[in-house]
Amino acid sequence: MTPPLAPAGWSRWLVPPAALSVHLSIGQAYAWSVFKPPLESALGLSGTQSALPFQLGIVMLGLSAAFGGTLVERNGPRWAMTVALCCFSSGFLIAALGAATEQFWLIVLGYGFVGGIGLGIGYISPVSTLIKWFPDRPGMATGIAIMGFGGGALIASPWSAQMLKSYGTGSEGIAYAFLTHGLVYAAFMSLGVLLVRVPPPGYRQKAPEESPGTPTGTLISTAQVSARSAVRTPQFWCLWLVLCMNVTAGIGILEKAAPMITDFFAETSTPVSVSAAAGFVALLSAANMAGRIGWSSTSDLIGRKNIYRVYLGAGAVMYLLIALFGDSSKPLFVICALVILSFYGGGFATIPAYLKDLFGTYQVGAIHGRLLTAWSTAGVLGPLIVNRVADSQEEAGRSGAGLYGLSFTIMIGLLVVGFVANELVRPVHPRHHVPAPREAADDQLAGDQRHHA
């Protein structure tokens, strides 16, 4: 499964399309909210229950990325993309069986557990390869690929809605939709498996410090840190908090997007239709995708720490505006939600470059995989906060925008926590650095000389 080395003259710009074929497929996870109402109706589930496959999928994404990161580094991107293809497609097939037999636990097992492993391995599969191909613009490179994960729902949301319309919204129709997803995504992801290449020995582009316009602040290091050492640094855990808080805030809207906008304006003179709600999900996916390439490319110019100040600080302001005025202005609600989702996507795309700045390229894929446990945590926290609060508020007799006021206040507090964690990030202490081969040889020679003296 070792990918072939790129031949002389092979364009590095063919690597992002290979990554996109995988990320556009696994990005279907962001369209899960389209399946929530049909599942709730067909199987008699609550909002919290129907979120379980999605939540478990995100949990498994983080866990498989954390435990599989070292294997991905060792075996290469082609192996990782193949594993992702098999798990993600198989997850849909198992979920199809669960829907056909009306066994919800099979949907949770297939989509959440098996498919979630495919999500995690597929997500990190191209990261270190892209950074090696684009050391001069790591934010842009990872942004191009990872935007596919955000943009996957832009395709999957209307496609899934159309399939449910054609097949029906009963358990049989849902099963056929899952089956179609599994087969089509298997074919599409195979393109990335066949196309991916790794740089030849001696490949080199301009290093970040040599590239005009690239910030060379104190957080950018040329030293290397192993994955094992990285998790022992305070910088790793600060970034863990930063990612977790940013993801929790974004995923809370994304997972319940269609029901949320419907609830917000249900009691107004301009309620939101089912098709308009599906369109809103697609718009959020577009913002998620655009933020991944736009904000991550901007981070190459202004620095990672500054861009996360924008994500977390301005994100808290957007949530405050929705909480105070969202139900009185549909454009305000939509615009603020789009900005939050652009920050959410940008945070994902920028974090590999942030890690590269702090820890080097040595084992950045494995470090990134371990950091994605923050996503697992957020995948539980975000939907749990929004769904549990909404359910409790509904039991208390509230409706409309009143279902979400408390959860939005919680999100603001979490974003403030992330903002503080980002401010605490400092350069990694030299004791964690891996000695360069030449430095290690010099140290050995000096030691030998002292011994003979």
Per DSSP, helices labelled H in 233-363 are 234-254, 257-264, 274-302, 304-309, 315-325, 330-359
Distance between CA atoms of residues 390 and 396, nearest Å = 10
Question: Which amino acid type is present at position 257?
Answer: A
Question: Quick one: tokens of 345?
Answer: 């996507």
**DSSP for residue 224:** B
**DSSP for residue 170:** S
Distance between CA atoms of residues 167 and 152, nearest Å = 21
The answer to whether the CB of 261 falls within 8 A of the CB of 445 is: no
Q: Return per-residue pLDDT of the chain as tens, 453 residues.
A: 566 788 878 888 888 899 999 999 998 997 888 899 899 999 999 888 998 999 899 889 888 988 888 888 888 899 999 999 999 999 999 999 999 999 999 999 999 999 999 999 998 888 878 888 888 888 888 888 788 886 787 788 889 999 999 999 999 999 999 999 999 999 999 999 999 888 887 776 654 443 333 344 456 666 789 889 999 999 999 999 999 999 999 988 877 888 888 888 887 777 888 788 878 887 887 888 889 899 999 999 999 999 999 999 999 999 999 988 877 888 899 999 999 999 998 998 999 999 999 998 888 888 999 998 898 888 788 888 888 888 888 888 887 778 888 999 999 999 999 999 999 999 988 888 887 544 434 434 344 444 444
Name the burial class of residue 240, with classes exposed (0-12), middle (13-18) and buried (19+) by CB atoms within 10 angstroms of its CB.
Answer: buried
Distance between CA atoms of residues 120 and 109, nearest Å = 15
The answer to whether the CB of 191 falls within 8 A of the CB of 178 is: no
- Tell me the residue length of the chain: 453
Question: Quick one: tokens of 417?
Answer: 């926590």
- Three-state DSSP class for 161? helix
Does the pTM exceed 0.85?
A: no
